[in-house]
Structure formats: C-alpha cells, structure tokens
Amino acid sequence: MMATPAHNKTLLSRLPVVRGRYIEHVDLSGSTWFRVGGPADVLFRPADARDLATFLTECPRDIPRTVLGLGSNLLIRDGGVRGVVIRLDGAFNEIEVSGTTVTAGAGALDVNLARVCRDAGLVGFEFMRGIPGTVGGGLRINAGAYGSAFGDILDWAEAVDGTGTMHRVGLDELEMSYRHCGAPQDWIFTSSQFHGQHGDQWEISARMQDVRLARKEGQPINTRTGGSTFKNPGNDIANGDSSELRAWELIDRAGCRGLALGGAQVSQLHCNFLINNGAATAADLEALGEEVRRRVHAHSGVMLEWEIYRIGEHDPENDLPELVLAKEAP
Ligand SMILES: Cc1cc2nc3c(=O)[nH]c(=O)nc-3n(C[C@H](O)[C@H](O)[C@H](O)COP(=O)(O)OP(=O)(O)OC[C@H]3O[C@@H](n4cnc5c(N)ncnc54)[C@H](O)[C@@H]3O)c2cc1C
C-alpha cells in the first residue's frame, strides 16, 4: 500500500520524541546507487547512538524500522518502504585513530576510513578504497575485496537492537564469514573498532591507487548499479554449494552477458553487475536478476544467491514487467 498523508500523520504522531529529525515522504530513489525505489513513509536521522536507542525503546513494535547505509548494496522496490527508515550520519561519521587502532562510526564511508588510515600510515584498510558504502553496511555483510574483508581487521562492534538495548560484541561473537555476519537481523550497528599495522604511507597510497584503477577497468563503477548481484557460490561450502566457478563465470556461460529487460541490463563489462540504463524500475532489475538465476540454474545446476539486499514493497500500479528480454548486439 502506498503511503498517504493521513497514514503518515498517524504514523508521525505515534513516534517517540527524539533529538534527531523525522522527515515524511522521502523519495529513496536518490539514496541508492541503482537510483530506483519508492518513498519512505518517514525518514529518521538520529542525533547519536543514545537517541537511536531511545527511539528503538519507545517506538511501538508494530511500526517497521529499516536502516539504510549508502544504498550501494540495495534494491529498494518501487512501492517504497513502510514505517521508519533510519539513516545514520552526522555524529555517526566520526573516525578516530589511536596508535594502531581505529574507531569508526557506522555512518563513516569506507573510502574515508581507508584515506584516514593511509594518512596515519596504517596498513590493512586499502581494500576499503574500492567499496562504496558505509562502515555499518560493510559490517552487515562482511564486505570485502582482494582477499581482505571487514572481519579480518575488526576488534569489536557496537549495535542497538530492536528493543533499544545497546551491545558491544567482539569479532568472534559476530560469526563473520564470506559476505555473512551472524549479528541478529534487528541489530543496527552504530560504531566499531578496527586494527591495522604501521607501514609506509607511500606504499599504502600506491596500493589504494591500484585498487582504484582495477575498479575503473573491471567494473561499471560510473553507472547506476548495486555492485556484485550474486554471491560467489564456490565460497559457500557451508551451504553445500561447491561450484569452483565464480558467479560471473556461471552467468557468462549461461549466455546472460548483456541480457536486458526494460531499462535493466546485465553489464557487458562485468556480468555479475546489473545496471540501470536510466529508465529501469526496481521491478525490471529484480525480474532480470531472477531471470539470470533461472538461466544459470538451467545451465549449470547452481542456484545463485542474491548478494544485493532487496527491500520494500512492489508498486501495485507498476506490476511485475512482462518478460521481454533483449540481448545487446556484441
Ligand atoms: C560499484 C560497486 C562496487 C562494489 N564493490 C564491492 C566489493 O568489492 N566488495 C563488497 O563486499 N561489496 C561491494 N559492493 C557492495 C556494497 O558497496 C557493500 O556491500 C557495502 O558494504 C554496502 O554498504 P552500504 O552502506 O551502501 O549499505 P546499504 O546498501 O545501504 O545496505 C546494505 C544492507 O546493510 C544494512 N545496513 C546498512 N547500514 C547498517 C547498519 N548501520 N547496521 C546494520 N545494518 C545496516 C541495510 O539494512 C541493508 O540490509 C559494491 C557496490 C558497488 C555499487
């Protein structure tokens, strides 16, 4: 159901008094890398972790809450997100270095964390240069690249759960593995501490430059995309999937490179990336992703698992697209 002003008036009047800000009817399409998606009923920007905890303690349980990072791993459906969408910025963006440890708020950008650590001569954060999200989003999925991931350098993380209780947990309690974090789904990360090692600033800088260039050459980073669409099945041995092939290879072998549906397309440059050619709806992107999964399964027997989070409601006025697929001429 789409939000109506009356619906939102009732919703706002039920929300607790906070020090942060509530904003109604916020278009979320500008908040994701795909540039698609419907509105949030209410967007909440907490003043700090205590304010977030107060909100979560006092917010009626039947009101859904969803936290957003930078929307770089997110497909928001065209009907938008009901309830309260939480965005962490301001006080949550802080980064502080002390010796070889670094504390970072959940709203801090990975790229900023990498830069601060470079300037402090700390090795181990270079991979973050290529991940266009926030620390909170990275913790949620144990983001990683080039053989390193958040879990390799994390000491502890702080989070607030759905009842407003604050937690600080060590790495071992988070059960991090390939693109997985075992923290309960209702936890909202607020802060974390990482460790690095002292190293040469120029070498760190050169490695970050290599990451930047590798991204530019191998990924459609200047398009509307959500990064890797599917997890690499070979890494998910725990779930019994032992394919040696990476997701992009399976997609390529199934003939999906360049496959298009409405304004959505499988990238020609990196076929584990879906792109919005400018006119895509979230429904186009999701249906194309499902079609890729179907074709890969038919071709290789592997059912790919979405890496991109898909949230929100379908727009009832914009039914799922008819499956008119096109393959771009080579
Ligand atoms: C061009 C491109 C390249 C990419 N390359 C990589 C890569 O190399 N490696 C990689 O791992 N990823 C990559 N990604 C995906 C993405 O950048 C990462 O997964 C990133 O960590 C997502 O962070 P975010 O802040 O954008 O989270 P969002 O996309 O906003 O959210 C993702 C999920 O995290 C949850 N979340 C966000 N913040 C919090 C919080 N504070 N507490 C709890 N949950 C939270 C959201 O609810 C959602 O479920 C790439 C994406 C793009 C567009």
Per DSSP, the residues of 84-101 read: EEEE--GGGG-EEEETTE
pLDDT digits (tens, 9 = 90+) for 204-255: 999 999 999 998 888 888 899 999 999 999 754 444 445 678 999 999 999 9
Residue 46 falls within a domain, yes or no?
yes
Domain co-membership, 144 together with 244: no
Residue 280: domain span:
220-327
**Model confidence over 47-82: pLDDT tens digits?**
999 999 999 999 999 999 999 999 999 999 999 999
**Ligand 1 center to 137 CA (angstroms):** 4
- Of the candidates 39, 70, 90, which is a domain's last residue? 90
Residue 291 in any domain: the answer is yes
> The domain spanning residue 190 has which CATH number?
3.30.465.10
Picking from 79, 80, 81, 83, the residue whose alpha carbon sits closest to that of residue 316 is 79
User: Quick one: 119 and 164 in the same domain?
Assistant: yes
The answer to whether residue 211 is domain-embedded is no
* pLDDT at residue 109, rounded to an integer: 98
How many CB atoms neighbour CB 49 within 10 A?
Answer: 21
Residue 136, SS3 per DSSP:
helix
pLDDT recorded at residue 253: 96
Nearest atom in ligand 1 to 190's CA? 41
Pocket test for ligand 1, best of 73, 92, 129 (most atoms within 8 A of CB): 73
Q: Which candidate, 7, 158, 180, 174, places its Cα nearest to that of 88?
A: 158
Could you say which residues of the chain have pLDDT below 50?
A: 1-4, 236-241, 329
Tally of structural domains, the chain? 3
Q: Among 231, 235, 215, which Cα is nearest to 223's?
A: 215
Give yes or no: residues 197 and 127 share one domain: yes
One domain for residues 290 and 273? yes
- Indicate which residue's Cα is closest to atom 51 of ligand 1: 227
88 lines ligand 1 (CB under 6 A): yes
Q: Which of 41, 61, 90 is the last residue of a domain?
A: 90
